[in-house]
Structure 1
Amino acid sequence: MKIIIKSPVATLATIAAVLVLAVFLITAFWSDVSSTVLPNTKLGLYNKDFWENFLVELHGIVFELSIIGVLLLWLDSKRTKSGEIKRLREDLEDYSTLDYPEINVKKLGHMKRLNEHKIKNIDVQNLVLNELKVKGIIAEDSRLIGLKIVAGSVVSSNFKSMRMRSSNFHESTIKSTIFESCDLLKSKFNESICKGVDFTNSSLERADFTNSDLQSSIFNGCDVRGAKFDGANLKHVSFHNSKHLTSELLLRAKNLDYVKVSDEIMAELIAQRPDMKYQKNKGRP
């Protein structure tokens, strides 16, 4: 019912369907209708022959309403939707670098409305959303280079194949969020809480995770060349098949308990960090 009320096309289509059904039933059972409702009723020109002719003409009217009317209204709604999407994109681009609370809220609202229109390729650079709770945003196969969400939060969002280099999530909380196959070169996650975040197959070259809480996060298949994990909590973090991962990068972390790395790197970590806890496998002391 809500869909019908909100959509003019659905409203007109519903009205047309009801009219088509009514006209069809009256025409199909005209003998019963005419004998019951209009047996011998006559008022001026309103007689049985008139109503029969009227039904014939009504078929053409209903056909025009249901086909041409719905089609024209649908085309108009598509044009209106396209215009709104264009306006939302232009506003995001125009206000991207402004950092005022009310403007940031407006920009986030524009992103949500684009998602409501099934738009996932959100392409804007240097977008500032500082101190906001960014929840439920989906962005794929486009650019959010220089995205800034400082001292805010990112919740239940999904970023896939995004170019997001030089983004800044300093002192933010990120949870239930996926960065899959994203370019996060030189991005900042320092002093942030990123528990359980999935960075699978992303490029994190020279990314900064200094003093961040990365417990149970996933870095499988990531390129972590030159990434900084100084003082970070890497408890239960998975680095399976990570590229350019070395024990030197991890040894600066505050917590390495149960970190998941290759046997070679694990042996080096155990030798230099006897305090760390780890899962003992066969052949591993």
Structure 2
Amino acid sequence: MLLNLPFYRDEIFENITFAGYELAKIDFDNCHFIGCDLSNLHLTNTNFSECEFKNCDLSNAALTGTTVQECRFTNCKLLGLKFEACNPILLSFSFKDCQLNFSSFFGLKLKGTNFLNCTLEQADFTEADLSNSIFSDCNLKEVIFDHTILENADMETAYNLSLDPENNNIKKATFSTTNISGLLDKYEVIIK
């Protein structure tokens, strides 16, 4: 498929390896990407609005000025993405069964974002606003929470959690008795 138009609406892109394609400055509205490889691409100033990504690989893609509005990612590989490089206006997405290891969400307003059954090892949420977000069955091993707003966040089923409650806003956040020990890691206490 030759991508030579500046705008695509209601299109389905299936099992395409986009290496060699120039996707910068293209608008995708309500498009579906299924089994596509967009890894290592420059998506500079590309707009994705109400798009769905299933079984795709976007690892290490450059997101400078990229607009991601109301997009859904399911079973995708999103390693090392710098989401803070995206256009912050109307930035909204949800993730289900995704690998987001080493990705960065530094300083982003992500209120109400859903992370469902995701692996987020060593992801960075420094200074992000995750109020009312859900981390359901997520692996949070070595995730960085530093001056992060987690008010009303649901972290009840998250695991490998470690965060400093003195350095983050966790007012009315939900934790389980099995992951609450991650709030005490800095004190090096032993909980039996």
Normalised by the size of structure 1, how large is the TM-score?
0.52
Q: Where does the alignment leave 5 or more consecutive residues of structure 1 unmatched? A: 1-88, 93-105
Which structure exhibits the higher relative contact order, with contacts defined as CA atoms closer than 8 Å and separated by 6 or more residues?
Answer: 2
Aligned pair partner of 2:99 in 196, 203, 215: 203
The 4+ residue runs of structure 1 with deviation greater than 6 A are 280-284
Indicate if the aligned counterparts of 2:71 and 2:93 stay in contact, CA closer than 8 A. yes
Aligned pair partner of 2:40 in 146, 159, 165: 146
Larger displacement relative to structure 2 (147-156 or 179-188): 147-156
| Largest Rg, 1 or 2 | 1
Aligned-partner SS, 1:190: helix
Larger displacement relative to structure 2 (126-135 or 160-169): 126-135
| CA deviation after TM superposition for structure 1 residue 140, in Å | 0.4
| Correspondence 1:262 to 2:149 | no
Question: Pairwise mapping of residues 105-254 of structure 1 onto structure 2 (< 5 A)?
Answer: 106-109=4-7, 115=11, 119-125=13-19, 127-192=21-86, 193=88, 195-243=91-139, 245-246=140-141, 249-254=143-148
Which of the pair is proportionally richer in helix? 1
State the identity %: 18
Aligned-partner SS, 1:178: strand
Indicate if the aligned counterparts of 2:154 and 2:175 stay in contact, CA closer than 8 A. no
Q: Summarize deviations over 1:112-135 as a string: whole Å, max 9, x none.
A: 58x2xx553333125443344332
Cα 1:170–1:232 shift into 2, 3 Å: farther
Q: Where does the alignment leave 5 or more consecutive residues of structure 2 unmatched? A: 181-192
Output the CA distance in 2 between the equivalents of 1:274 and 1:143.
Answer: 36
Aligned-partner SS, 1:186: coil
Indicate if the aligned counterparts of 1:217 and 1:237 stay in contact, CA closer than 8 A. yes
Which of the pair is proportionally richer in strand? 2
Q: Summarize deviations over 1:183-241 as a string: whole Å, max 9, x none.
A: 11112211433754111111111112222222211111111111122222212221111
Cα 1:275–1:120 shift into 2, 3 Å: closer
Indicate if the aligned counterparts of 1:195 and 1:216 stay in contact, CA closer than 8 A. no
Indicate if the aligned counterparts of 2:156 and 2:175 stay in contact, CA closer than 8 A. no
Aligned-partner SS, 2:143: helix
Aligned-partner SS, 2:96: coil
Normalised by the size of structure 2, how large is the TM-score?
0.73
